Structure 1
Amino acid sequence: MANTDNLEDKKLLCVGLICLDVIHVCNSYPFEGTDQRIKKMTWQKGGNAANTSAVLGLLGNKVDFLGVFPKDTKDLFQKSACSFVRQEMERCGVGLEQMSLVGDSDLPYSSVVINDETGSRTILHCPGLLREVSFNFFQKLDLSAYSWIHFEGRNTEEVVKMICHVVKYNEGQDEANRVKMSVELEKPHRRNLPLLLPHADLVLISQEYARDSGYNNAPDTVKAFKDHVKSSAGIVCAWGELGAASGVSGAVGDVIMTPAFSPERALDTLGAGDTFLGALLHARLRTTNLPSIVKFACKVAGRKVGSYGYECLRDFSQTVE
């Protein structure tokens, strides 16, 4: 069944982190204390919410990004990094008008080692003088411009305020104009993430978060979290090469496991989860059939893993079934 959700008139918004990824592609993962040549080094925009919004843009959606961005930095590296990341986001079709420009703040960056033998990635992250998006900034948004808002699971106390603000806005709207919301629970060390669940229409649980919560597979994770979300909310847990499990809270029927669409050779797993999520949201705006949504997301993630970067998604022509 098609989902209207004002797709043609309104935009999506992704709230969370933006940073610079400095990527080193190696023949194999380096041993400590050795001197090793690399195949190539590139810069790439990074951050979960930033990557997800870029994927949405590449797939043809109207999307804005909201995150903290340095204002008037004088540091040469920071100035170059900020300029590059801005250009990358705009090239992917992401609107940056809603970014929170903050002085005395750094653009975080990550040094990423990609093993060309396996496609695995190892991330060394430097947050620097990282600032998080505040509720005071978020509440100034014109929510009527958006059909869907995605919140990266971080800065929990402020994000809970943002979600409650959207809930209050929705109380004064008819069903067609209410803003849908999704949340991502990824990093176990981030405190109180379950507080983000009660009002979400779509929840994504990472494998790392699931294991830390005591679950050893995707279906068990989805079954457990169905008790912590509102009725009719979708829950999805991706499990790497095994695919992703999904289920709807309050619905009759078992949790469904959708197989992965693995490429012939894994080249770059950096941002695979962000790609999966972006494709998930893209598909959710076009259908409410959760298995179809997850199947499409697995296909898009498989395409990304089989290529370096995200440009391969620009010509992704498969549609949501």
Structure 2
Amino acid sequence: AEPGGKRILCVGLVCLDIISVVEAYPAEDTDTRCLSQRWQRGGNASNSCTVLALLGAPCAFMGSLAPGHAADFVLADLRRRGVDVRHAVLQPGGHMPTSVVIASASRGTRTILHASGCVAALTLLSVPQVSSVSRPAQPPGQPDRVILRAGSGWGWGPTPAPPPRRATLICAWAEEGADAMGPGGELVHADACPPETLVDTLGAGDTFNAAVIFALSGGQSLQDALNFGCRIAGKKCGIQGYDGIV
């Protein structure tokens, strides 16, 4: 079901994750056989798109990619999930950001070695689908920011800071659950929902973020959204990858 009929745009990082699963972390300067190895699309915005799509939310990805086989792989995987990639920008040069992930099967933990790839950052004029939209001039030194306008399309414009009384602050604390302060200053807490066996924590934070956004977009209360985020993040920690979180 669509959350309130709204589309959700995720702007940010997409990268290639090369994940090697080992029984236990290898000692320095040793040779260890992997239990398995896989390529997986990663990056904060990209992972959130995956979770939103699995939850049934219509979503889109906006971010920079460098040309090459890795970009072909991540774009194909986004499309496989039903994510709108019309706003993804293939830059003319650079290298795709890549993370080498060592995952311990015995402990359910992971170590990440990330290479930024030197891909050009996304700018307003690098998005041809929206760069022609009329937008107010920003004060000197203030960047353009993307906003979601009501209706069927996206728009550009300055994003003013909301009044403090309308702000919502959410903090996730892993095994300690999550806390939030609502628009009226109310404090809410949700307990973590750890799986029986910890399997894969890679992307758990992105899963929590996406699940909370999904719930809030559907009109759920802050407390219910926090509970939902912890529950879905806990399910993700009990499986490899993302299939099976719903």
Determine helix, strand or coil for the equivalent of 1:264. Answer: coil
Aligned to 2:58: 62
CA RMSD for the aligned pairs?
A: 2.7
Matched, 1:131 2:120: yes
Q: Is the 8 A contact 1:287 1:293 kept in 2?
A: no
The aligned counterpart of 2:136 is none
TM-score, L = length of structure 1: 0.66
Is 2:81 the partner of 1:87? no
The SS at the match of 2:166 is coil
1:27 and 1:115 in contact (8 A); partners too: yes
Aligned residue in 1 for 2:179:
245
* Aligned amino acid, residue 301 of structure 1: A
User: Relative to structure 1, is the Cα distance of residues 237 and 60 closer, same or farther in structure 2, using a 3 angstrom cutoff?
Assistant: same
**For each residue in 1:264-300, what CA deviation from the matched residue of structure 2 results, as whole angstroms up to 9, or x when unmatched?**
0110000000111111111011124101001001110
Seen in structure 2, the aligned counterparts of structure 1 residues 102 and 236 have a Cα distance that, compared at 3 Å, is same
Partner residue of 2:137? none
CA distance in 2, matches of 1:292, 1:35: 47
1:226-265 aligned within 5 A: 230-249=164-183, 251-253=184-186, 255-265=187-197
In structure 2, the residue corresponding to 1:309 is in which secondary structure?
coil
Structure 1 distance, partners of 2:118, 2:169, is 34
Per the alignment, do residues 266 and 49 of structure 1 end up closer, same or farther by CA in structure 2, a change over 3 Å counting? Answer: same
* Matched residue, 2:108: 119
The TM-score normalised by the length of structure 2 is 0.85
Matched residue, 1:39: 35
1:252: Cα distance to partner? 4.6
Give 5+ residue unaligned stretches, structure 2. 134-140
Q: The residue matched to 1:312 in structure 2 has which SS?
A: coil
Q: 1:103 aligns with which of 92, 97, 107?
A: 92
Contact 2:189 2:226 in 1 (8 A): no
Secondary structure at 1:21 match in 2: strand
Query: Which residue of structure 1 aligns with residue 224 of structure 2?
Result: 292
Correspondence list, 1:74-223, <5 A: 78-79=68-69, 81-137=70-126, 140-141=129-130, 160-163=143-146, 166=147, 198-199=161-162
Residue type at the aligned position of 1:114:
A
Conserved? CA contact 1:17–1:68, under 8 Å: yes
> SS state of the match for residue 201, structure 2?
coil
| 1:138 shift after superposition | 5.1
Is 1:22–1:112's contact at 8 Å kept on the other side of the alignment? yes
Q: Which amino acid aligns with 1:62?
A: P
In structure 2, the residue corresponding to 1:311 is in which secondary structure? Answer: coil
Q: Contact 2:165 / 2:185 at 8 angstroms: preserved in 1? A: no
How far does residue 137 in structure 1 lie from its aligned partner after superposition? 3.3
3-state SS of 2:99 partner: strand
Residue type of the alignment partner of 1:55: V
The count of aligned residue pairs is 233
Q: Residue 138 and residue 233 in structure 1: after superposition, are their counterparts in 2 closer, same or farther (change >3 A)? A: farther
TM-fit CA distance, 1:60 = 0.7
Greater CA drift, 133-142 or 122-131:
133-142
Q: 1:41 to 1:234 in 2, by over 3 A?
A: same
Closer, same or farther in 2 for the Cα pair 1:235/1:252, shift >3 Å? closer
Of 20, 25, 35, the match for 2:21? 25
Contact preservation (8 Å) 1:113, 1:121: yes
Change (3 A) 1:161 1:139: farther
Shift of 1:82: 2.0
Instruction: Give unpaired runs (5+ residues) of structure 1.
Output: 145-156, 171-175, 181-195, 200-228, 317-321
Structure with higher helix content: 1
